[in-house]
Structure 1
Amino acid sequence: MKIKPIYYHYLALAGFFGLFALLMLWNTLLTPLSKFPVALILLITVTPLLLPMRGLLNCKPKSCAWAAYISLIYFLHGSVEAYANPSERLYALLEIMLSLMLFLGSTLYVLFAETRS
């Protein structure tokens, strides 16, 4: 039984929207920083996700590839936070999981969507 590429795209979308929601909640409601304005933190953390969003929603392989590259930034951030900040380790592990979902879903979608066409 062969898995259709669209299921990989759904995995990427689940990781994308989960990561987006996590970053919004983490920086506003769960543990907001008092040193910096929340708007600045959201601008820095969420903007890279918004760059490939239109193409990702329209199943464009090039945008999916860029989303996979961008997801690695969030994987690194989650890894560093999980190591350095024990009080926020749960959120960091969730960020790692969602970024891996985005990475694997996007990568496998691009791989199998390209071979089918």
Structure 2
Amino acid sequence: MSTAIQRYRWLALVSYFALFICVVVWQFATAHSEQSLLFRGLFWVLPLLFPMYGIVKGKPYTHAWANFVLMWYFLHSLTMLYIAPEQRYWAAAELLFATLAFAGCTLYARHQGRALGLGLKKLKDEKTR
């Protein structure tokens, strides 16, 4: 694995786990909500657990589809920045970590996938066969 790919993996791992910790602390330690703890756990923490195993193992495909999960937190943070000024710092941290995790996962999936020979075939290449 090249040093660039290792840096992308490191960025994805660190920012993904920072996002996970940020969400857990925000939802369970500081958020005063009318939602139950079970609901907050299922709604906010569980989606981050789905791709976690593949991200830890360094699977490019998992890094790629984890971006769909990360967009949930990206949109949540933008919404909270707009509607809840009292939670602005938590929302800004969530936005930062979600953005960095998105970039890290995208770059890692792209470059490691190419290094492993994975990828989607171009339609024009398929038609020539």
Q: Give the TM-score of the pair, scaled to structure 2.
A: 0.84
Residue in structure 2 matched with residue 97 of structure 1 by the alignment: 96
Contact conserved, 1:20 with 1:46, CA < 8 A, in 2? yes
Superposed CA deviations along residues 14-46 of structure 1, whole A, max 9, x for unmatched, are 11111111111111112231x121221121101
1:3 offset after TM fit, Å?
4.8
1:90 offset after TM fit, Å?
0.7
Percent identity between the two aligned chains: 30
Superposed CA deviations along residues 45-91 of structure 1, whole A, max 9, x for unmatched, are 01111111111110001110111221111000000000000000110
Residue in structure 2 matched with residue 4 of structure 1 by the alignment: 4
Q: Give the TM-score of the pair, scaled to structure 1.
A: 0.92
Contact conserved, 1:52 with 1:64, CA < 8 A, in 2? yes
Q: How does 1:1-117 map to 2 (within 5 A)?
A: 3-33=3-33, 35-117=34-116
Contact conserved, 1:67 with 1:102, CA < 8 A, in 2? no
Question: Which structure 2 segments of 5+ residues have no match?
Answer: 117-129
Aligned pairs, number: 115
Give me the whole-angstrom Cα distance separating, in 1, the residues matched to 2:21 and 2:113: 29
Give me the whole-angstrom Cα distance separating, in 1, the residues matched to 2:86 and 2:31: 10
